[in-house]
Amino acid sequence: MDNPFDHLNQRLRKIEEIILEISESVSNISIPESQTTILTVDDLSCLLKISKSSVYSKVSNLEIPFHKKGKRLYFIRSEIMEYLKSDLDNDRIKGK
């Protein structure tokens, strides 16, 4: 008669192997820091050299990309940079 614990040990080893494979594949994924940098209203006002009230105004008018978690506003640096780039391209097209 087979020992039921041997079967459990085999299955546990297999589960450990799978977890290690997943862990290794996840650790190899890299996201550039510039895409993950999260900015606050204060950070964004310093970056853009505008007042905090101007930041809130741009958010209110949906002029700038933002994320809201509860009552707090957050901005992703790469999205802001893309917004600025597209804004500059639009100004060139309009001849400003």
**pLDDT tens-digit profile of 39-86?**
999 999 998 999 999 999 999 999 999 999 999 999 999 899 888 888
How far are the Cα atoms of 9, 19, 40, 47 from residue 6, in angstroms, in the given order? 5, 20, 55, 61
Q: What is the pTM of this model?
A: 0.56
Mean pLDDT calculated for residue range 86-92: 65
Q: Which fold has domain 33-94?
A: Arc Repressor Mutant, subunit A (1.10.10)
Beta-carbon count within 10 A of 55 CB: 23
Residue ranges per domain, the chain? 1-30, 33-94
